[in-house]
Amino acid sequence: MLGSWMESEIREQPDLLAKNAPSYLGQLSKMVGGQEFELVLLAARGSSDNAALFARYLIEVHLGIPVSLAAPSVLTRYGTRVKYPKTLAIGISQSGAAPDVAEVLGQLREDGHTTLAITNTASSRLEQTAEHTLLLNCGEERSVAATKTYSSSLLALYQLVRALGGNLPEAGGDDLPCSDWLDECRRGAEMNLGKVLRTNVHFALARGYSFCTANETALKLMECALIACKSYSTADFQHGPRALASYGCTAIVYGEPMQDLATQGALLVEAPIAPCPEPLKPLGEIFFGQWLALLAARARGLDPDHPDHIQKVTQTR
């Protein structure tokens, strides 16, 4: 079946998140617990960059520490070394092979800052570069589309903020997404698939903690189903882009309802609302976006396990 690896890896997520949550917190507490930083720098690409966006909200809201999303080209393309205050630099890469992410961590470590790699691949370049490494312990991810490594990266970053003293709900029990929730997300994707397939303009919308989910949903639709989709904060969407939200458009919405778009003629796809505290919602709500991308790919005769033009490990510098 088309996308059989991707489906299998989507289904692994509830068990993996429940299994790894305690170990992530324990390891990160030993690595950086009790330390204070003036800045957190996040370096990532692709799905990992969307996970970094989640971390930005968590860190700034719950720790009050400013966060910068690194632009690796400042170093790798233009050769400029930025002078940072006391910084925790975090590199996120499922493969651990991203040269530009590793070079950013390498610079920060040389300058005396604390560096942390979050990756699913042991003995990778990122692990060799960073002072500390958290291995996601997801097992091999065979599909080109990141699914279980993405949600596991979210969980790792959530536990990192708790390890640094953030007042967040415990990540466990009924607050982590379960198999029933996974099935609910699939049913929701099946019910809304037709809207996505019969329109030409697509937006993925969310705000706050869930903005990462809108970004990741758009990425999944593009890489898996070859459906062009642009993600926006629901606030930014009001500043011009919503003019396109009319007939022939689908808006995939996470969180707050946007029924006013329907009055403009847009088709609304409202994602199921995860039954957990708001900061934990992105861990499970992306299941809906993953199913939507997989089902759309199958409907279009595409195999997200073996897409054209892209590969599992992408190396940019």
| Distance from C-alpha of 244 to C-alpha of 246, rounded to nearest angstrom | 6
Q: Please tell me the predicted confidence (pLDDT) of residue 310.
A: 62
**Single pTM value for the model:** 0.95
Dump strand ranges (E) for 11-101: 39-44, 67-69, 87-92
**Mean pLDDT of the 137-158 span:** 96
Report the pLDDT value the prediction gives residue 142, as an integer from 0 to 100: 93
pLDDT at 285 exceeding the cut of 60: yes
Q: Which residues of 185-202 are buried (b: 16+ CB within 10 A; e: fewer)?
A: bbebbeebbebbeebebb
- The conformational region for residue 64 under phi > 0 = left, psi -120 to 50 = alpha, else beta, is left
pLDDT in tens, 68-115: 999 888 888 888 889 999 999 999 998 887 888 999 999 999 999 999
Buried b (16+ CB within 10 A) or exposed e, 68-80: eebebeebbeeee
Query: 274, 21, 23: which is closest to 172 by C-alpha?
Result: 21
Contact 39, 168 (CB under 8 A): no
106-135 pLDDT, tens digit each = 999 999 999 999 999 999 999 999 999 999
Question: Residue 84 has what pLDDT?
Answer: 95
